Amino acid sequence: MHRNGLWVFGYGSLVWQPEFEFQERNIARLEGYARSFCMRSIHHRGTVENPGLVLALDEAESHCDGVAFFVAPDRAQSTLDALRERELISSAYLEAVLPVSLRDGRRAEAVSYVIDRDHDQYCHLSLEEQAKIIAEAVGGRGPNTDYLYNTASHLKELGLEDPDLTWLSNRVAEIKAGSVVL
């Protein structure tokens, strides 16, 4: 895989903040998984005392549309090392190489980060519960709201609007504005 380069599938913050150099970016679809705020964040978007929520790929009879990045062979290992440092800060994500369909018709095997359902950071919450947490949490990379708003707006710009993220963005804005009592 590294000898010929590396594909990376982004579905959350990697869409708008990959933090690595890539040669190509292509809209991609991953079958069998859904994007979900199913991981409690105790580092990047929350703390141990007040966990936030971040997106993860959760197995589902669905699909997730995102972005596949191609990294040149000479940068593949350093990119993978940086991704592991960023994404595997706790063991809640599992690194997997999964088949993605690129919008241009090609197929690729892409490094992807999926949730470990057996990990204590895994959660399954209603959208309303998610909104309440996201509205308040702050972690090492900033407010949880920034993560939500950036991901939702960048997906929409790419023509990949996610209805749950749109609903959450609107609901979190209402909560932050104080227009709705919790």
Q: Are 76 and 5 in contact (CB under 8 A)?
A: yes
Alpha helices in the chain (DSSP H): 13-16, 73-87, 127-136, 144-157, 163-177
The two beta strands, 142-143 and 107-115, are unpaired
Is 87 an active-site residue?
A: yes
Q: First and final CA of the chain: distance in angstroms? A: 49
Say which of 87, 95, 128, 174 is annotated catalytic: 87
Q: How far apart are CA 8 and CA 25, in angstroms?
A: 10
Say what the alpha-carbon torsion angle 129, 135, 140, 146 is, to the nearest 10 degrees: 120
Active site residues: 87
